[in-house]
Amino acid sequence: MSTHTILTPRYIHMLAPLLAETNPRPDYDLTAFYIEPHPAKGALIVAGNAHSMGMFHDADAICAAPLSVRLPRYIIDNCATMPLPELFDEGSVYTPSAPAWMVPDKLIITVREGNQPPAIAMVTHCSEDEDHRGVLACATEEEGVAIVTAKKAPDWRKLFPTPDAATSPQPIQLNPAKLADFRRITDAPNAWTSGFGLMIHHYPATTRTPPDASIAILRVPYYPNFIGALMGMRGTPDQNATPAIPDWLPAPATTPADEVAA
């Protein structure tokens, strides 16, 4: 018996830079994507490391049970070329010759009974003509190109603030290199495309985070189904008190420049 987890491929590609290169903790697998059913519809796709985390709500996903899976680089890279979600009519039949779980333009993770390494397949097109049904890759158990891990995933519930939490008026130090890990989510046709910017909300430590922690919650208006988190850098009190406007900045002239020139 097999179970099929069906996801929007582009979300995998956009979250991939947030995965850790290695596992800093033996009890977690920070190199794997964590997928869990959403209580209302679809699934949550999570990727994170020791400093940051990102999550998409994939409303079109099909996920029966939580899953942690490590995907090979070539699968992740190919996910970039797949389209973003499109709405399909419920009950649509794509082709009688394809299995029912073969959904067009989706990443399909098949886990065999006994927690064997899953087969990975991306269906790019389905039709009655079998020659036009594309599959990115289908791995055998021996190849082991993708691994279902039994290690637990980081608990995003301990990182993201509750909806009623108050933001902090204080500044927050962020690691620019870690902030750049969110770059795929903000990719746009040009640098000034509206809606693709990172919106940063600063939250102080809560009962669910380390006592001296502060956290930046990142949103992208173009993707309202995304939320990210980046832990603030722990600076000295003097560093954290750095004002927004330095005292060396000359005060603006009280007289308009054109009047001074006259």
Pairing status of strand 52-58 against strand 134-135: unpaired
Question: Is residue 56 pLDDT above 90, yes or no?
Answer: yes
Question: Is residue 138 pLDDT above 60, yes or no?
Answer: no
Which tokens go with 118?
């899953």
* Mean pLDDT confidence for 68-89: 68
Task: Give the count of alpha carbons within 13 A of 204, CB side only.
Answer: 7
Kindly state the percentage of the chain with pLDDT values over 90. Answer: 23
Q: What are phi and psi of 75, to 5 degrees?
A: -70, -45
The band of 93, judged by pLDDT with boundaries at 50, 70 and 90, is very low
What's the pLDDT tens digit per position in 192-207? 777 888 999 888 765 5
What integer pLDDT is reported at residue 11 of this predicted model?
Answer: 93
Domain ranges of the chain: 2-148, 159-240
Is 2-148 assigned to CATH 1.10.3470? no
Kindly state the percentage of the chain with pLDDT values over 70. Answer: 64
What integer pLDDT is reported at residue 150 of this predicted model?
Answer: 66
What integer pLDDT is reported at residue 141 of this predicted model?
Answer: 42
Which tokens go with 92?
């649509």
What integer pLDDT is reported at residue 142 of this predicted model?
Answer: 42
* Mean pLDDT confidence for 205-211: 58
Which tokens go with 164?
């009623």
What's the pLDDT tens digit per position in 37-49? 999 999 999 999 8
The band of 169, judged by pLDDT with boundaries at 50, 70 and 90, is confident
What integer pLDDT is reported at residue 156 of this predicted model?
Answer: 83
* Mean pLDDT confidence for 235-248: 71
* Mean of pLDDT over the chain: 75
What integer pLDDT is reported at residue 89 of this predicted model?
Answer: 39
